[in-house]
Each structure stands twice: as structure tokens, then as C-alpha cells.
């Protein structure tokens, strides 16, 4: 073993990642997303799904309806059935197909009872709910689509994936606001470690682009109103940051017990070695200013990975671009890592991707794996004005080559939810 012999070297306790898939505003495949991140491209733009001219927030990181065609996946899901789904369910199916394909994992009678699904979401089927309300108000109760009751449920991303691919192991839905993606991966890791599945389809999916959701999140005062300059609106850790830019997407990873992956000859992308989850117990939307909850999640993940703080080579930060969150996360990192915090490269994918809400942590875990595979860390874009409260190395504006052996990905959500996951480059 390469770090203190964690799990005593037992293959039935070790969990590896063998496949990844994404649908994001910066690309509908991992390759496309990764190339755009390294190129410093921003997904932020004016909202065009509906007329947002009367809204205080008029920008988003959306996947345009014209930009994603679920019919491209008609070889795995019936066209008519696919069109009925909320976009968050469509994205989950699409990202899962990509991840299973990369993993070379065929789900069949020999293994389907041992393969589970854990796909979280912050909000569930918002578009389906929105359409249902419209039908109710405009045409009456008998005109609400009979599928609405099922398709609006948060668990139906995972439900639809199980139905589509035939996975019959544990299946439920984590909902912890913006920590959802990381919590989903962490809980899937624990399901495998405790022996309840050989493999898990894990991650999160989100669709938030409705007028109601836009209004609601703006009222929390956490969103950027830099409407005249969308591509520079998300500026994590920068002194002039004024909030996040929100968007849609999904990230799915295939987690497997090491012996199962080896037995089927899978190419292993990375090992999942640590997970910590805590709560601030402080405020519904603001983090504890000193980052105490985040600090405890990071410490717990390090303990469970059996590694020292100095063994972390890179952090993919939660880095939302809100005044409070970036300062609290920085404080937590300094508290845990001490002097080493200043030598530790950190970047925020949200500077380009925007904030994919519940899906953020899952997509950022994919990005963290890709960072280790390629030996390059993407930049935090739009970092122009240093903030005395945020004084670490955020890899400003230019990607940086570095061999990353161990990466950490952090996610923190409304409700005080904190989750930290630790991934290791596969060397065996």
C-alpha cells in the first residue's frame, strides 16, 4: 500500500473509480468539459429559457434546451419515455451511460443484484413541477400530466437509471443542497465498504432553470448580479466577488470494490480513499464564519484515508464566489493544513462552470480524477483582486502542470452540510 497500508490492504475494503460521465454547461462529455476548463472558458451567459429582463439576476450557467438532445441516447432509453423525463433525469441517464461505457461494466443477471445506484439532487424535478403548475392553473386539475407525481420526485434520477440499466442493488437519494454530490459519492463508497454492493453508480444531477427557482435563490442574496458581464461574474476568492452563477448538470462515477474491478479486468482511474461529513448547526444559508464545520469534515476525511494533511497535493474547492463561503473555506483550510496551506494548490471549477447546485460535488470529483490522470490543475479564473481573507494559492487564471497523487474535493451546502472526499491516483 502507498499510504500507511489503509484498509490493511484488503481488496474487499478498497474502493476504486472505473468510469465517469458528465452533462454540463461546459461540455456533454468528460473530455469536452476538461478541454474547456483547461482553456479557461466560461459557461456563464444570459438566461434565454424565459424572459429574465425583470429579474435582478439575469445570468446562468445553463445547458440550453437546444444544446442537449436526449435522443442521442435512444439506444439505451426509449425516445418517447426519455422526452417525458425531467431534464435532471435525462442528464442522469446520459452521464450514467457514459460512465458505464468507460468502465466497461455490463449490468446483467450475473451481477445486477450487487450493483446499486445513489444519485442525489438538490431540488428534483423542477421543470416537471413547473409544467404541472402551469397545466393546473391554465387548464384545471384533470390536465396535469399523470406522470408528474412520479417524475417530480428527487429519487427519480436514481430510479430512472436503475430502470434503464437494470441495477437492482441499494438505491436511494441524498439531498443535502450543494453538498449533495459529494455526500452521494461518500455514501456510495461506504455502501461498498460495508459489503452491501460490489459496485455503485453514484453522483448527482440538477435542473434549476425555472423562474420560481431563480427568484427564490436570488432572494437568499447569494447570487451574482453582474448581469452585464456574465463570463466574469463567477470570481471565487476574488475581493470583488458578489455571489454564485447557478446552472444545470450531472456528474456520475462508477465506484467498485477493488477485487470486483480487478476480476473483470477494468481499467482503474483512481482510488476513493476518504470521506468526511459534518454539519455547522449554525444557519440555514450562511456558513460558520471560521469554517468550523468544513474543517471537521476535512479532518474526518483525512483520518479515514489514514493520511497526513501534507499528503494532499491539490484541493478542488467548493469556491462558490460568495463573500461568506470563500472566506470560511479558506479559514478551514488554513486551520487544518497550517503553514502547508500556503503551499497547497487550490482551484475552483465554479469560476468557469458556475454552480451546478446539488450536482456540483459529483462533477468536481470527476474533474479531480481528471486532474490526477493528466497531471495538470485547471485555474481559478477571474481572480484579479486579492482578498486579505482569501490569501492562499488559488492557481489564478492559468492552469498549472503538477503530478497530483492525492486530491481533495470539498462541498458545502445550505443547511450547514459539509462533505469532503479524498481520491488517490491509481499506481498499482
Among residues 128, 221, 204, 211, the alpha carbon closest in space to that of 365 is found at 204
pLDDT confidence bin for 67, thresholds 50/70/90: confident
- Give residue 12's pLDDT: 81
The reply to whether 378 belongs to the active site is: no
Residue 5 confidence (pLDDT) = 45
Question: Which among 6, 28, 60, 318 is annotated as catalytic?
Answer: 318
Residue 428 confidence (pLDDT) above 80: no
The CATH number fitting domain 275-425, selected from 3.40.50.2000, 3.40.47.10, 3.40.50.300, 2.40.50.140: 3.40.47.10
- Percentage of residues of the chain with pLDDT beyond 70: 98
Asked if the model's pLDDT at residue 392 lies above 70, the reply is yes
228-286 confidence digits (pLDDT tens): 999 999 999 999 999 999 999 999 999 999 999 999 999 999 999 999 999 999 999 99
The architecture that CATH gives domain 15-263 is 3-Layer(aba) Sandwich (3.40)
Contact 158, 151 (CB under 8 A): no
Determine the Cα–Cα distance for residues 105 and 256; give it in Å rounded to an integer: 10
What are the two backbone dihedrals, phi and then psi, of residue 37, each rounded to the nearest 5 degrees?
Answer: -65, -45
Q: Based on the residue annotation, tell me whether 178 is a catalytic residue of this protein.
A: yes
E strand residue ranges, 190-308: 199-206, 249-257, 270-279
Q: Look at residue 8 in the predicted model and tell me its pLDDT.
A: 54
Q: Is the pLDDT of residue 414 over 90?
A: yes
- Is 50 exceeded by the pLDDT of residue 2? no
DSSP H stretches of helix in 39-146 = 79-84, 87-103, 126-139
pLDDT digits (tens, 9 = 90+) for 185-198: 999 999 999 999 99
Sheet strands (E) in 169-313: 171-172, 199-206, 249-257, 270-279
Residue 9 has pLDDT above 80, yes or no: no
Distance CA 410, CA 394 (A): 14
Residue 63 contacts residue 132 (beta carbons within 8 Å): no
Residues 75-122: tens digit of each pLDDT = 999 988 898 999 999 999 999 999 999 999 999 999 999 999 999 999
Strands 249-257 and 270-279: unpaired
pLDDT bracket for residue 1 (50, 70, 90): very low
Q: Which neighbouring-strand residues pair with 361?
A: none
- Give domain limits for the chain: 15-263, 275-425
Whether 306 sits among the annotated catalytic residues: the reply is no
Looking only at the bridges linking them, the beta strands covering 314-316 and 199-206 are: unpaired
Q: What is the pLDDT of residue 66?
A: 72
Could you tell me which residues come within 8 angstroms of residue 175 by beta carbon, excluding any fewer than 6 positions away?
120, 121, 122, 124, 154, 358
Query: How many helices and strands (H and E) does the chain possess?
Result: 13, 14
Q: Which of 6, 355, 378, 417 is catalytic?
A: 355
153-182: pLDDT as tens digits = 999 999 999 999 999 999 999 999 999 999
Tell me, what's the pLDDT at 11?
A: 81
Q: Do domains 15-263 and 275-425 have the same CATH topology?
A: yes
Handedness of CA 369, 370, 373, 379 (dihedral sign): negative
Higher pLDDT, 221 or 381: 381
pLDDT at 130: 94
Name the catalytic one among 173, 178, 378, 417.
178
pLDDT digits (tens, 9 = 90+) for 343-366: 999 999 999 999 999 999 999 999
pLDDT tens-digit map of 35-64? 999 999 999 999 999 999 999 999 999 997
Residues in contact with 29: Cβ distance below 8 Å, sequence separation at least 6, in sequence order:
21, 22, 98
Q: Please, what is the Cα angle at 10 between 5 and 16, to 5 degrees?
A: 90
Residue 382 backbone class (left: φ over 0; alpha: ψ -120 to 50; beta: rest):
left
Amino acid at each position: 500500500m502507498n499510504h500507511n497500508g489503509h484498509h490493511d490492504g484488503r481488496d474487499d475494503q478498497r474502493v476504486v473509480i472505473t468510469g465517469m460521465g458528465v452533462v454540463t454547461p461546459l461540455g456533454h462529455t468528460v473530455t469536452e468539459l476538461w478541454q474547456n476548463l483547461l482553456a479557461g472558458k466560461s459557461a456563464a451567459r444570459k438566461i434565454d429559457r424565459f424572459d429574465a429582463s425583470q429579474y435582478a439576476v439575469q445570468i446562468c450557467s445553463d445547458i440550453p434546451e437546444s444544446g442537449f438532445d436526449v435522443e442521442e441516447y435512444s439506444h439505451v432509453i426509449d425516445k418517447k419515455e426519455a422526452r417525458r423525463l425531467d431534464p435532471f433525469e435525462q442528464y442522469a441517464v446520459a452521464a450514467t451511460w457514459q460512465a458505464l461505457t468507460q468502465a466497461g461494466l455490463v449490468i446483467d443477471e450475473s451481477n445486477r443484484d450487487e450493483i446499486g445506484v445513489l444519485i442525489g439532487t438538490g431540488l428534483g424535478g423542477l421543470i416537471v413541477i413547473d409544467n404541472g403548475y402551469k397545466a393546473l392553473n391554465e387548464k384545471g386539475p384533470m390536465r396535469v400530466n399523470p406522470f408528474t407525481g412520479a417524475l417530480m420526485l428527487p429519487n427519480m434520477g436514481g430510479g430512472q437509471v436503475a430502470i434503464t440499466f437494470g441495477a437492482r442493488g441499494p438505491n436511494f437519494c441524498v439531498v443535502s443542497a450543494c453538498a449533495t454530490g459529494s455526500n452521494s459519492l461518500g455514501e456510495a463508497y461506504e455502501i461498498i465498504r460495508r459489503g452491501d454492493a460490489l459496485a455503485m453508480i453514484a453522483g448527482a444531477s440538477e435542473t434549476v432553470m425555472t423562474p420560481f427557482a431563480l427568484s427564490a435563490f436570488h432572494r437568499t442574496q447569494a447570487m451574482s448580479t453582474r448581469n452585464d458581464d456574465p463570463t466574469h461574474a463567477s470570481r471565487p476568492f476574488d475581493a470583488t466577488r458578489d455571489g454564485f452563477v447557478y446552472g444545470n448538470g450531472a456528474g456520475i462515477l462508477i465506484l467498485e470494490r477493488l477485487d470486483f474491478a480487478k476480476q473483470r479486468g477494468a481499467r482503474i482511474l483512481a482510488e476513493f480513499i476518504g470521506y468526511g461529513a459534518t454539519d455547522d448547526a449554525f444557519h440555514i444559508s450562511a456558513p460558520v464564519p471560521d469554517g468550523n464545520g468544513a474543517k471537521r469534515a476535512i479532518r474526518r476525511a483525512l483520518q479515514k484515508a489514514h493520511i497526513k494533511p501534507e499528503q494532499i497535493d491539490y484541493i478542488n474547492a467548493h469556491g462558490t464566489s460568495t463573500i461568506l463561503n470563500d472566506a470560511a473555506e479558506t479559514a478551514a483550510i488554513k486551520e487544518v493544513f497550517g503553514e502547508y496551506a500556503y503551499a497547497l494548490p487550490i482551484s475552483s471549477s465554479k469560476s468557469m462552470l458556475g454552480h451546478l447546485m446539488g450536482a456540483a460535488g459529483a462533477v468536481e470529483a470527476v474533474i479531480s480524477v481528471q486532474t490526477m490522470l493528466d497531471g495538470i490543475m485547471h485555474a481559478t479564473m477571474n481572480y484579479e483582486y486579492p482578498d486579505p481573507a482569501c490569501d492562499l494559492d488559488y492557481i489564478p487564471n492559468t492552469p498549472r502542470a503538477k503530478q497530483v497523487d492525492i486530491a481533495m474535493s470539498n462541498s458545502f451546502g445550505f443547511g450547514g452540510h459539509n462533505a469532503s472526499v479524498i481520491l488517490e491516483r491509481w499506481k498499482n
